[in-house]
Amino acid sequence: MALCTAVMLFATSCSKADDDNPNPDDDANGFEHADLSLLATQWDDGWVSHIKDNWTEVAKGQLKIYIFHPNQQADAYHSNLAEGNDHAASILVVPHFSNITSVQDRGIQSFESITFLTADAMDNETGKPVHLVFFKKHYGTGNGRYMLVVADSKSAFENEFGNNYINSSSWDYMDQINSWNKLANMQWRNRFALSSDLLTGTWSSGNTSTLSYYYANGGYAGATGVAVADKFRFFSGNQYESDHSGASGMIGDMQFSHVEYQGSYTIQNSWKIQFTNRFQGDTEVFDSYFEAIASGLLLVLVDRNNTVTTLAKH
């Protein structure tokens, strides 16, 4: 009998190695002679982003927010949110502060859990008392980032982000969760404008995913897979080359594709790249920016279909 018409199938065992978020423990070469601490992004609402060793610091007035760079140990999955919070905080927060008191867990475990710990502490670097807010929205896509708000006082934090703290027993707890979107969205402030000198070099990305199928009686019915790899080379004189490879289909009978381009590129308004001689000779424009990680920078390209490609430098 034909498999597609006569048998009930269940799709299970989906695995994905997604280098749209490259492994932060892989060395991002090519920045040995660049002082990345000099990079700054001035946001139109007064916040300013700078790169530090293990986080990107976003500051305004009496507030600083540390957007922690990916950390394999701190980011390890924990089915119990409280255990994961304690583990991450012990790595990211505790080494930098002392006399931590008045700790409160204001988060919630759900489909997209929220880490939300508040405390008072002493800043080891300045010796001053501070109010801390350790926060992360655990997006289903897996791209949430731990953040730490360091405020002169609790009132300074609440004046900026509010005080509608989450109470999971409250009838309007979903509204309470949504009221913290402003804070959750601060993680997207780890962005820096493009420059040709930092762009020059080779950048690559790749991801794979597989989906296994089983008969209703438990028998194995095969698997499908998708693999994509992209590489960009940027040269002096605003020239580029890129190659893009893909494979998809049933494992053992996959279809392959490969295409190469070369032409010139132009950085537009610091946040876009225009490439000539793309598909069928057309010009293509990407929204683009650098994202800081512990070992350097990632290059993020967003095409007109909102497809995001994140590349590491080699």
Q: Which of 189, 215, 250 is at the close of a domain?
A: 189
234 backbone φψ class: left, alpha, beta (φ>0; ψ -120 to 50): beta
- In order of 63, 85, 207, the CA distances from 21 in angstroms are 28, 22, 9
pLDDT at 23: 47
In a domain, 15, yes or no: no
Q: Is the dihedral of CA 183, 103, 57, 44 positive or negative?
A: positive
pLDDT at 272: 97
User: For the segment 16-54, what is each residue's pLDDT rounded down to a tens digit?
Assistant: 334 444 444 444 457 877 889 999 999 999 999 999 999
Q: Are residues 111 and 158 in the same domain?
A: yes
Given pLDDT bands bounded at 50, 70 and 90, which one contains residue 142? confident
Domain with 142 in it: what CATH number? 3.40.1000
Among candidate residues 128, 134, 132, 147, the one with its CA nearest the CA of residue 56: 147
DSSP 74-133: TT---SSHHHHHHHHHHHHTGGGEEEEEEEEE--B-STT-EEEEEEEEEETTT--EEEEE
Spatial strand order of the sheet with 48-51 comes to 40-42, 48-51, 55-60, 63-68, 147-151, 129-137, 114-123, 97-105
For residue 237, give every residue at least 6 positions away whose Cβ sits within 8 Å of its Cβ, in sequence order, or none. Answer: none
Q: Are residues 73 and 202 in the same domain?
A: no
Q: Are residues 246 and 269 in the same domain?
A: yes
In a domain, 34, yes or no: no
Among candidate residues 27, 15, 19, the one with its CA nearest the CA of residue 230: 19
Q: Are residues 49 and 180 in the same domain?
A: yes
In a domain, 7, yes or no: no
Is pLDDT at 173 greater than 60 in this prediction?
yes
In a domain, 1, yes or no: no
User: Quick one: average pLDDT of 100-128?
Assistant: 96
Q: Which of 124, 154, 189 is at the close of a domain?
A: 189
Q: Are residues 175 and 223 in the same domain?
A: no
User: For the segment 45-101, what is each residue's pLDDT rounded down to a tens digit?
Assistant: 999 999 999 999 999 999 999 999 999 999 999 999 999 999 999 999 999 999 999
Q: Which of 154, 189, 224 is at the close of a domain?
A: 189
| pTM attached to this predicted model | 0.84
Among candidate residues 88, 78, 155, the one with its CA nearest the CA of residue 117: 88
Among candidate residues 33, 136, 17, the one with its CA nearest the CA of residue 84: 136
Q: What is the mean pLDDT of the chain?
A: 88
Counted domains in the chain? 2
User: Quick one: average pLDDT of 115-138?
Assistant: 97
pLDDT at 314: 86
Domain hosting residue 254, numbered range = 196-313
pLDDT at 19: 40
pLDDT at 196: 94
User: Quick one: average pLDDT of 110-135?
Assistant: 96
In a domain, 22, yes or no: no
Q: Are residues 111 and 176 in the same domain?
A: yes
Q: Are residues 256 and 218 in the same domain?
A: yes
